């Protein structure tokens, strides 16, 4: 029997499905597993880990028993919990930062202090562990400010406050009502940055890094960036607001010094460093760092990059990223998230989804990634989360990619389906201006 490399993907959202599809696009034959995975990954030939897993230690033991050659971690929680450390104890190859390095996302206090120490541009800030000191600072600085829980809060822990009342309410929610639990034991108050955001992904092996095409997320739930923030309602890449000159600045002022700072702190960074950057009038400034691929940006970025992803991600873990080659496809990719009615608030599950196969078997430039789906008792595909599906389309231009994405979105239906109709509008406007 031919020897196959085997890969375990940790996670079960659109990002993990996009990572799987990217792995499968290369010529390398692979045996793929996912924990917990999703029905879309399964129908692409990925085996779902069915064993009872109670801890990341259990998953590492499973990976060792099953001779997994590479484990790729999608979400932040396992990384912040220390999954990489558990796998490394068993000499297993895993893509992602250690628990200590994952603090760059897991503790905003850590990330902001690192940036302050090493002169990496970011919003001015202070950290607080009690409400009185926070209020005192707030009265001194005034509004607008952003009040943030330092710990992980499922993307909901940053509150942009334009009035004093909002800021006081945010501090009350964090310190008194404890709506973010321990994640808000430390609270950051920072300057509100004005500009356009971009998501910059850099692969790093601890010594070398390589930057992927820059993308833009759409966090608010409604068109025109209205309504509450979500995990992300759509994305596109490349983002024209970051031209070659701006990217060079982001690399020199943010990516390279941050990775060098991590090494200096004896936390060499292996994995994907995601810099959420605000392009302000005074230049690029870091809004946040994440310690993993973004979702939904990954669904728009990976289809643009041709490479052997098994090799590239293994290389990050082995310190040989400098050998990795890839080519970036011309054109653009646009991802539209189809979400349940009510998301990011309360939503119902179990709505039957129609049209996925039609999209899957249609245009070769279109991918559909599962996020919150499951098969019900009758074997029907139903909704099982807030973000349900991601439709990604490649086009020779951003305009073509937008048109193809929405043509395919129109083929999908489920009760209460909501999506933004203006994904990539800011990028298109920018291209028209030029």
193 binds, among ligand GLY, ligand AMP, none (CB under 5 to 8 A by kind): ligand AMP
Residues whose CB falls within 8 Å of the CB of residue 392, separated by 6 or more in sequence, listed in order? 18, 299, 300, 303, 333, 334, 335, 366, 367, 368, 369, 405
CB of 156 to ligand AMP, least distance (A): 8
CA gap 169, 173 in Å, rounded: 6
Q: Site residues (CB under 6 A) for ligand GLY?
A: 155, 217, 232, 290, 294-295, 297
Q: Per-residue x/- marks for ligand AMP, 119-138, CB under 6 A? A: ----x---------------
Q: Is the dihedral of CA 139, 289, 346, 219 positive or negative?
A: positive
Give the binding-site size for ligand AMP (rule: CB under 6 A): 15
Residue 299's binding partner, choosing from ligand AMP, ligand GLY, none, with beta-carbon cut-off 5 to 8 A by kind?
A: none
Q: Does the footprint of ligand AMP cover residue 287 (CB under 6 A)?
A: yes
d(CA 127, CA 105): 15
Q: Which is nearer to ligand AMP, 210 or 420 (CB)?
A: 420
Q: How far is the CB of 275 from ligand GLY (least distance, A)?
A: 11
Per CB under 6 A, which of residues 185..224 are in contact with ligand AMP? 190, 192-193, 197, 219
Considering CB distances under 5 to 8 angstroms, the limit depending on partner class, which of ligand AMP, ligand GLY, none binds residue 294? ligand GLY
Contact 399, 309 (CB under 8 A): no
Site string for ligand AMP, 227-246 (x = CB under 6 A): --x-----------------
Q: How far apart are CA 369 and CA 359, in angstroms?
A: 11
- CB-wise, 93 or 103, nearer to ligand GLY? 103
- Residue 17 contact partner, candidates ligand AMP, ligand GLY, none, CB within 5 to 8 A by sort of partner: none
CB 331 within 8 A of CB 232: no
**Separation of alpha carbons 203 and 270, rounded Å:** 8
Q: In the complex with ligand AMP, which residue's Cβ is closer, 217 or 311?
A: 217
Residues sharing a CB contact under 8 Å with residue 305, sequence separation 6 or more, in sequence order: 22, 212, 213, 326, 327, 328, 329
């Amino acid at each position: 029997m031919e020897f196959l490399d085997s890969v375990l993907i940790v996670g079960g959202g659109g990002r993990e499905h996009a990572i799987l599809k990217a792995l499968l696009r290369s010529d390398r034959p692979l045996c793929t597993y996912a924990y917990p995975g999703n029905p879309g990954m399964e129908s692409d030939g990925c085996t779902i880990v069915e064993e009872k897993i109670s801890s990341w230690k259990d998953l590492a033991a499973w990976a060792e028993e099953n001779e997994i050659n590479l484990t790729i971690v999608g979400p932040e929680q396992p990384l912040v919990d220390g999954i990489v450390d558990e796998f490394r104890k068993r000499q297993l190859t895993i893509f992602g930062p250690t628990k200590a390095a994952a603090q760059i996302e897991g503790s905003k206090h850590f990330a902001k202090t690192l940036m302050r120490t090493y002169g990496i541009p970011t919003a001015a800030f202070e950290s607080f562990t009690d409400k009185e000191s926070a209020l005192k600072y707030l009265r001194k600085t005034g509004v607008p400010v952003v009040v943030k829980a330092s710990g992980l809060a499922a993307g909901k822990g940053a509150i942009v406050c334009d009035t004093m009342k909002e800021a006081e309410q945010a501090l009350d929610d964090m310190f008194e009502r404890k709506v973010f639990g321990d994640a808000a034991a430390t609270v950051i108050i920072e300057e509100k940055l004005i500009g356009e955001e971009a998501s910059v992904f850099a692969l790093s092996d601890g010594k070398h890094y390589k930057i992927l095409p820059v993308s833009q997320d759409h966090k608010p739930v409604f068109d025109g960036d209205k309504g509450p923030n979500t995990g992300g309602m759509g994305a596109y890449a490349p983002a024209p607001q970051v031209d070659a000159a701006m990217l060079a600045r982001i690399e020199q002022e943010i990516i390279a010094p941050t990775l060098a700072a991590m090494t200096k702190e004896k936390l060499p960074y292996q994995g994907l460093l995601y810099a959420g950057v605000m392009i302000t009038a005074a230049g690029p400034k870091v809004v946040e760092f994440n310690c993993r691929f973004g979702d939904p940006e990954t669904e728009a970025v990976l289809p643009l990059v041709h490479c052997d992803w098994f090799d590239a991600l293994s290389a990050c873990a082995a310190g040989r990223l400098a050998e990795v080659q890839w080519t970036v496809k011309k054109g653009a990719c646009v991802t539209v998230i189809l979400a349940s009615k009510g998301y990011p608030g309360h939503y119902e599950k179990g709505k039957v989804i129609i049209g996925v196969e039609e999209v899957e078997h249609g245009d070769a430039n279109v991918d559909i990634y599962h996020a919150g789906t499951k098969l019900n008792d009758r074997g029907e595909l139903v909704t099982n989360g807030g973000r349900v599906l991601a439709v990604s389309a490649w086009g020779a231009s951003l305009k073509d990619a937008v048109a193809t994405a929405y043509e395919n979105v129109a083929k999908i239906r489920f009760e209460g389906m909501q999506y933004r109709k203006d994904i990539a509008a800011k990028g298109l406007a920018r291209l028209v201006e030029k």
